[in-house]
Amino acid sequence: MKNVVAIDGPGGAGKSTIARLLAEKLNYLHLDTGAMYRAVTLAALNKEIDFDNKTKLVELAKEIKIEFDLTGKVFLDGEDVSQEIRSEKVNEFVSKTAAVKGVREVLVKKQQQIAAVNKVVMDGRDITTVVLPDAEYKFFLTASLTERAKRRYEQLKKQNKEANLDEIKASIARRDKFDSEREHSPLTIADDAVVIDTTKLDIPNVISEILKIMSGDK
């Protein structure tokens, strides 16, 4: 599938930031699929839906309207929820939402429709394996748990938010485990994906590594 870049990896590996910058450089659309699972989770929290009620979660995923603008802002039924979808409460429940097969079916269909009519950089957990297995370029970005937690901690501090490194580490580890062990579309490395460990690389270095690979220089 030409003009499609698929990026997967665990939470906090820098996927979304890198996908956004890469899309800017290539003049492609960026689709952060994690934001879609987060938006469904936020809608469920707002409606006080029980996260064990799979039927209700699937109905909700079908009902709500998730939109993105060109700056990466996320809108839920017309309201800007870019900040709210990153809250600790959403972090706590998003893996439960994402484990529901019917929710995934609704969102994956939307993701595939977007890729069918756009040049796109899409990032998530199952993009290289399930959503766009025929993508022209496939990457798996990772970093050590300690480094991923540190990045999240520094991000929160920068926003003057309360942060506890050990708690962040535990929360990321819990989500990694849940996402990797779930029954439907678990986080795995596609056989033909290029793995990039970003533990010791800054963002410009990761981007240039990816661009080198895409241009065939590597």
Question: Of 23, 74, 125, 198, which one interacts with ligand C5P (CB under 6 A)?
Answer: 125
For position 57 contacting ligand C5P by CB under 6 A, the verdict is no
Q: Where are the alpha helices (DSSP H) in the chain?
A: 15-26, 33-46, 54-63, 88-98, 101-117, 145-158, 165-181, 203-215
Residues touching ligand C5P: how many (CB under 6 A)?
Answer: 14
216 is in an annotated binding site: no
15 is in an annotated binding site: yes
Beta bridge partners of 173: none
For position 51 contacting ligand C5P by CB under 6 A, the verdict is no
* Interactions with ligand C5P, residue window 83-112 (CB under 6 A): 94-95, 98
Piece of the chain touching ligand C5P by CB under 6 A; list 34-42, 58-66, 163-171, 207-215 = 34-42
For position 179 contacting ligand C5P by CB under 6 A, the verdict is yes
Distance of alpha carbon 67 from alpha carbon 189, whole angstroms: 28
* DSSP states along 64-100: --EEE-TT--EEETTEE-TTGGGSHHHHHHHHHHHT-
Handedness of CA 202, 208, 211, 215 (dihedral sign): negative
Neighbour tally for 65: CB within 10 Å: 10
Q: Which is nearer to ligand C5P, 76 or 216 (CB)?
A: 76
Piece of the chain touching ligand C5P by CB under 6 A; list 58-66, 119-127, 148-156, 157-165 = 119-127
Q: Which is nearer to ligand C5P, 27 or 110 (CB)?
A: 110
Piece of the chain touching ligand C5P by CB under 6 A; list 32-40, 53-61, 158-166, 203-211 = 32-40
- Classify each residue of 116-144 as buried b or exposed e, where b means 16 or more C-beta atoms within 10 Å of its C-beta: eeeebbbbbbbbbbbbbeebebbbbbbbe
For position 74 contacting ligand C5P by CB under 6 A, the verdict is no
For 128, the token pair is: 């290289």
For position 37 contacting ligand C5P by CB under 6 A, the verdict is yes
Neighbour tally for 157: CB within 10 Å: 12
For position 14 contacting ligand C5P by CB under 6 A, the verdict is no
CA 93 from centroid of its chain's CA atoms: 15
Residues that bind ligand C5P (CB under 6 A): 11, 33-34, 37-38, 94-95, 98, 124-127, 175, 179
The annotation places the binding site for ATP at: 9-17
